[in-house]
Amino acid sequence: MKKLFLALTILYGASMIGQTEVKSDKEVVPPVAVTIAFQKEFTGKVPTWTKDYEGEDSDHIRYLAKFNTGTSVGLAVYDNNGMLKAYELAIARTELPKAALSYIQKNYPGQTIREAARLIDGNNVITYEVGIVKDRKFLDLVFDKKGGFLEVTEKD
Q: Domains of the chain (ranges plus CATH)?
A: 26-155 (3.10.450.360)
Give the model confidence (pLDDT) of 16-63 as tens digits: 444 444 444 567 899 999 999 999 999 999 999 999 988 777 778 999
Q: Which residues have a Cβ under 8 Å from the Cβ of 101 and sit 6 or more positions away?
A: 93, 147
Taking the whole predicted model, whether its pTM rises above 0.75 is answered as no
Asked if residue 120 has pLDDT above 80, the reply is: yes
Give the model confidence (pLDDT) of 69-106 as tens digits: 888 899 999 999 999 999 999 999 999 999 999 999 99
Three-state SS for 83? Answer: coil
